[in-house]
Amino acid sequence: MIGGSAWGLAAAYAYSQNMPLSIGTSLAADSAANTGTSYNVGVSGYWVPGKSGLIPSVSTGWGVSALQNNFWQSERWAKANSWYLGLQWPDTFVKGNDLGMAVGQAPFITSTGNGNFAAFTGFFADSTNTPLDSNYMWEWWYKFQVTDNITVTPALYYISNYQGMGGRVTTSGGYDGTNNVFGGLIKTTFKF
């Protein structure tokens, strides 16, 4: 604790074989599905101010994976990245109610290793053979403390180009990044 505030930091490393990613763009999931070996590193942290007010609590994280893809070639290593940033303002408008938002990217391929990317995948790449794979996710929520035992949290979310590069290639071979999703949900929590 620093001046009444709280913080935490965590790091993780994982080595896996023949283990697909559980979430990510379609290109990242396809890469991981045909993976011989992967090395994964993740770092996350949070900070909560000592007093609630205009300054929110902050949580953030970043991850990177190196994927040996046997589908492309055994010596090819793809790299995937992911990140997030979350902000939450406690006691917004009414004591006990929280307002929050988060933004980030699910794992997406940032590099395909050596060789010509387009020749192996049929997808578009820029002049450095870096895939044009990415998406962004946003979420906004407001938690109502209805009673001591019941909370209701409506949320809105938006995902731009949810399939990453796979959603950008059209049937005619063109490029289209409009595979977007907008939705909402209501979560109710009961404590006994």
Q: What is the per-residue pLDDT for 123?
A: 47
DSSP string, 21-81: -SSS-HHHHHHHHTEEEEEEEEEEEEEE-SS-SSSPEEEEEEEEEEEEETTT-TT-EEEEE
On the 0-12 / 13-18 / 19+ scale of CB atoms within 10 A, 22 is exposed
Q: Which backbone phi and psi does 179 adopt, to 5 degrees?
A: -80, 75
Cβ-based neighbour number of residue 95 at 10 Å: 9
Q: What is the per-residue pLDDT for 116?
A: 45
Mean pLDDT of 56-75: 78
| Block residue for tokens 């699910």 | 106
More confident residue, 83 or 4: 83
Of how many residues is the chain composed? 192
More confident residue, 33 or 60: 60
Q: Give tens-digit pLDDT for 76-89.
A: 677 888 999 999 99
Structural domain boundaries in the chain: 6-190
What is the DSSP secondary structure assignment for residue 164, as one 8-state letter?
G
Percent of the chain scoring above 90 in pLDDT: 39
- Residue (of 62, 28, 34) closest to 131 by Cα position: 28
Structure tokens at 21: 């990613």
Q: Give tens-digit pLDDT for 120-146.
A: 444 444 445 566 677 889 999 999 999
How far apart are the C-alpha atoms of 180 and 169, rounded to whole Å?
A: 14
